[in-house]
Amino acid sequence: MSEPIRSCVGCGRKAGQSELLRFVAKDGLLVSGTTDPGRGAYTCRRLACFERAVSRRAFNRALRQTVRVDQKLTSLYT
């Protein structure tokens, strides 16, 4: 069985979905969501990738909308 391959929006690395953290946009806010329907954005499980994605507005591109990023999301990486 093969799992879907996704790209990290921070560094561009491709990996199996289960290796990555998934985010979705909910009411304009970036939230962590492994099962939420709709378009998702992925990062490696490394804070550096998250921060890089934020600084490059990569989440906005991946999710095709402007999302607010709550800094509390960084706790997902510790």
Toward Zn ion, which CB reaches closer, 25 or 41? 41
Minimal distance, residue 74 CB to Zn ion, in Å = 15
Q: Which is nearer to Zn ion, 36 or 77 (CB)?
A: 77
Where along the sequence are the contacts to Zn ion (CB under 5 A)?
Answer: 8, 10-11, 13, 44, 49
Q: Considering the complex, state which of residue 45 and residue 68 has its C-beta at the smaller distance from Zn ion.
A: 45
Question: 65-70, long-range: CB within 8 Å, 24+ apart, which pairs?
Answer: 65/25, 65/28, 66/28, 67/25, 67/28, 67/29, 67/30, 68/28, 68/29, 68/30, 69/30, 70/29, 70/30
